[in-house]
Structure 1
Amino acid sequence: MDQGLTMSRNQNITDVLMVGATGSIGQPAVRAAQRHGLHPRALVRDPRRAEQLLPGVELVQGDLADPVSLRHAVSGAEALVLTHRSSGGPRPDARAHVDYGGARNILAALDGAQPRTALMTSIYATRSDIPGVTPWKRRSERLLRASGLPYTIVPPCWFDHVGPTQRRLVLEQGGTADGGIARDQIAETLVGSLLTGTALGKTFELIAAGGQEPSDWDGFFGDLKSDESGSLDGVLDPADLPVEAEPQAVRADLDAVRSLRGANG
């Protein structure tokens, strides 16, 4: 990404906890944070392996499945970048356990802290009419909105389905976008959203098209619609998954997140 792009830097953010830091989006996100003068800390399960992937980066040991182990990791974080995602595999509940459960456990571990948060979900996260799409990414989005944290939510389109001249970013809303995006573009957008006031409280899909990357991200994010205050869904999300129809466990998680928000003002 262009090192010369301009944005109104949020001077209150230095310490950023990177969740999913050893993944294919997490690693370039760590590098993007460093380029922007931030101090990234990587949440990892296996520090020995992570040292090889992220040399010189501060590592914090923790497991997304273990909320207790996350309390030290999130302590002092002024921002979070959440790029964790399940790779599927033999476990039938992997997306519920990792994509959703990881977000839930991070939010619980914050214990009332309010770091600026960038959450990566996935293409078609809100589309129940697309075969193979599960609701767990959408549920993680809802948890973040319910938490009251200052957030930006980014469902990127298809990883790497993009040519070398496709550097112009296109932001869309409503779950209808289709196209490709490079991994470094996703990473830069997630980190840039933390530092840009106009990205706050917005959900958007990310696509690459032919042309140059943006030079002024304040204006770029500023053209988007904000999510409605108090809503659990993105501003143009389809209204086809009412909260009342969610499983009791999911509704209980939403209530718990709201309770933490209320208990801490």
Structure 2
Amino acid sequence: MHVLVIGANGTTGKMVVEKLANSEQHLVKAMVRKTEQAPDMEKLGARPIIADLEKEFDYVMEDVNAVIFAAGSGPHTGPDKTTSVDEEGAKKAIDYAQQKGIELFIMLSAVGADNPSVAEGRGSMEHYLKAKHAADEHLLNSGLNYTIVRPGSLSDDPAKGRITAAHKLESTEGTITREDVATILVEALLFNNLHNKTFEVLNGEHKIEEALSSI
């Protein structure tokens, strides 16, 4: 499969690129914003393409079957940047994918994106979840084949390889490693049962493949 990773230079995005490139099933195109980031993508085994989510970037969808959207404005940017990247950038990517006939769009979202009011009064987190909610809804209504992955709080710990996943978890207290999230995003390309589904995920008891196959 020819896969475009949007947000390839982010912490989770780089892990996604590396896992895709190391598999024998996928060819990887890595979207990065700066020319100087391209050599890192080449070292990981991907073909870099320079584009900016805050501008026009429909050309990145050429010769692509699937998209993994792993971009994010980061925790230290203001609400304007969050809206521009996490909401408007994602919406543009979805529209371009629809125009180009992309077969599958995998969205990295967040627990709470279905109901941003859970973060009411928490400033940047509330704004972030509202942006994610708007992007997710746009994807749901796009007509594209989609998978929306909503992890809980991310950690930089080593991968645990075990998760708990469901459309709606009983409790979202806990964390999940970025590397496990990257694995889930890559595995979602191959699990047809995840098409047109949204699920929450934390580190837990089940092997990743087992958990994904039972959603």
Using structure 1 for the length normalisation, give the TM-score: 0.70
Matched, 1:61 2:50: yes
Distance 2:102 2:71 in 1: 20
SS in 1 for 2:164: strand
Is this contact kept in 2: 1:118–1:152, CA < 8 A? yes
Distance in 2 between the 1:72 and 1:35 partners? 25
Question: Is 1:174 paired with 2:168?
Answer: yes
Equivalent residue for 2:31? 43
Alignment partner, residue 188 of structure 1: 183
Q: Does 1:21 align with 2:11?
A: no
Q: Residue 118 of structure 1 contacts residue 154 of structure 1 at CA under 8 Å; is this kept in 2?
A: yes
SS in 1 for 2:147: strand
SS in 2 for 1:104: helix
Task: Give 1:48 deviation, angstroms.
Answer: 1.6
Cα RMSD after superposing both structures: 2.1
How far apart, CA to CA, are the structure 2 residues paired with 1:90 and 1:188? 27
When normalised by structure 2's length, the TM-score is 0.85
Corresponding residue for residue 93 of structure 1: 80
| CA deviations over 1:11-39 (Å, ceiling 9, x no partner) | xxx11000000101101101111233211
Residue 73 of structure 2: SS of its match in structure 1?
Answer: coil
Mapped contact 1:154–1:203 kept (Cα < 8 A): yes
Structure 2 counterpart of 1:114: 102
Q: Does 1:159 find its partner at 2:154?
A: yes
What one-letter code is carried by the residue in structure 1 that aligns with 2:138? L
Identify which of structures 1 and 2 has the higher relative contact order when contacts are C-alpha pairs closer than 8 Å and 6+ apart.
1
Richer in helix (by share): 2
Task: Name the amino acid aligned to 1:23.
Answer: G
Question: Residues of 1 paired with 2:186 and 2:158: CA distance?
Answer: 23
**Which position in structure 2 is the counterpart of 1:221?**
212
**How far apart, CA to CA, are the structure 1 residues paired with 2:156 and 2:165?**
16
Alignment partners' CA distance in 2, 1:157 and 1:54: 30
1:129 aligns with one of 110, 118, 121: 118
- CA drift of 1:112 comes to 4.5
Contact 1:17 1:43 in 2 (8 A): yes
- Report the alpha carbon displacement of residue 54 of structure 1 after superposing the two structures with TM: 4.9
SS in 2 for 1:170: strand
Work out whether residues 27 and 54 of structure 1, in 8 Å CA contact, stay in contact via their aligned partners in 2.
no
List 4+ stretches of structure 1 deviating above 4 A: 161-164
Q: Which runs of 5+ in 2 are unaligned?
A: none
Provide structure 1 residue ranges, at least 5 long, that are not aligned to the other structure: 1-13, 225-265
Query: What do the CA deviations read for 1:102-144 (whole angstroms, capped 9, x no partner)?
Result: 1111123232413311100112212312232231101100111
CA distance in 1, matches of 2:79, 2:212: 37
Counterpart mapping for 1:192-211 below 5 A:
192-209=187-204, 211=205
**Contact 1:22 1:54 survives alignment (8 Å):** no
In structure 2, the CA distance between the partners of 1:116 and 1:163, relative to structure 1 (3 Å rule), is closer
Q: Residue 47 of structure 1: CA displacement?
A: 2.3
Q: For the pair shown, which has the larger CA radius of gyration, 1 or 2?
A: 1
Alpha carbons of 1:162 and 1:60: their partners in 2 closer, same or farther (altered >3 Å)? closer
Q: Distance in 2 between matches of 1:44 and 1:117?
A: 18
Is the 1:28–1:184 Cα contact (8 Å) retained in structure 2?
Answer: yes
